[in-house]
Structure 1
């Protein structure tokens, strides 16, 4: 675990982050809803040691970036990530996001197509894909279902649904336990707000899609393969991993990210 020594004060919140520095290709990792930067510990070390400049951060209201200051919304999350990129003067970083972080990365690329060099999404659906009636019903029902869960049970239930391995589940319980039920529901609603169907949209930068073989959350198991087909990219399916594939099988995810990065233009990339 890295302690996020640096601070960017923005809209009433001290956003905490860590930057490995250096001249390598910059990567910015954004975690999932209710999680924090710890979920990317293995990827941070793996890629830093190979010469990449790695930035991890805790989204507003998560981990060490507390208190949130202002409500967590989709628009505020986009503003925060763009502000962090500007603060660090990163030259077209690769955005890497898991779940909510993947939806956030998509939104930044869509709104600011020249800001990022590439996009890596782990365990998330396309923001712009059309939704079937069944999928719309699932999205609509999720918040009431979460609201009905006893607050004390929510971290454990979410962790067990998200991860397969015991280590990943244990860390997910720790992370989810940092948010109140009210805060988590606010973050969930923000995640849903990223969904904006636009069937003709195509990602304007190189795209890498990574999914856990055993991801049973939402519609990801069916939706990510469709997304890959629409974008004409090959999704990477991580063996034996659930929704939090980067913690269930960290080595496989780190290697998948590294392999994708090596397909990008050489400028700024480690040799």
Structure 2
């Protein structure tokens, strides 16, 4: 576990983060919408034990970084991540993101191609993919559908849709319950703002794509294989894992990350 004992105050929010320190390659983990840093506990332990400098944080309005202080927007979330990297003076960190965290990592690398050493995207869709008519319709309908779910039912509903194992579902319910429904819908809308079709764009740094075999969230199951083919990289599909593959199958995800990091120069 990485203790989030440090604070970066930005736009009315005390962003909580933890840093294992050391001289190893810095690896910055960003969690998904409604989740928090706990989803990466197994990865923190694994990589820190192998000499990497591990950094984790709770996004604005999530986990220990509450209250949000200001509305959650895509622009503000990207700025928060960049500010954290700057605060720690990290030199070309590897960015790791799950779901929304993966969308943020993609956005940062696209806007600042020299900032990161590599990008690892877990259970997240492809920001710059061309969207079909059906995908656009489903994305447009998602926020109203979430708004219609009673607030008391939303954490369990989201947890059951995201995770496969009982342990991962239980922790997801804990995390989702910390974010009020109104704020969660706002976060979801911000996630959509990170999707910006640009079919000719290719990631300028080494890229690792990981998804759970049973992830049925959005268009991830169809978009990530297309993304892997477009970029000429191998997609890692984790057996018996859902959208929260870092918790459903932590050992498999750890192995995929370590294998990728070992190949970096």
Q: Per the shorter chain, which TM-score range? A: over 0.9
Name the CA distance, whole Å, in 2 between partners of 1:175 and 1:141.
24
Unaligned runs of at least 5 residues, structure 2? none
Unaligned runs of at least 5 residues, structure 1? 266-271
Which stretches of structure 1, 4 residues or longer, exceed 3 Å deviation after superposition? none
Structure 2 counterpart of 1:47: 47
Name the CA distance, whole Å, in 2 between partners of 1:67 and 1:170.
23
Name the CA distance, whole Å, in 2 between partners of 1:165 and 1:154.
18
Q: TM-score, normalised by structure 1?
A: 0.97
Tell me by how many angstroms 1:217 deviates. Answer: 1.0
Tell me by how many angstroms 1:3 deviates. Answer: 3.5
Structure 2 counterpart of 1:143: 143
Q: Secondary structure at the match of 2:241?
A: coil
Structure 2 counterpart of 1:75: 75
Tell me by how many angstroms 1:11 deviates. Answer: 1.0
Q: Secondary structure at the match of 2:260?
A: helix
Correspondences of 1:1-271 after superposition (within 5 Å): 1-265=1-265
Tell me by how many angstroms 1:2 deviates. Answer: 3.7
Q: Deviations over 1:117-150 (max 9, x none)?
A: 1000000111000000111011001001101100
Q: Secondary structure at the match of 1:151?
A: coil
Q: In angstroms, what is the RMSD of aligned CA positions?
A: 0.6
How many corresponding residue pairs?
265
Name the CA distance, whole Å, in 2 between partners of 1:249 and 1:65.
26
Structure 2 counterpart of 1:269: none
Name the CA distance, whole Å, in 2 between partners of 1:48 and 1:177.
29
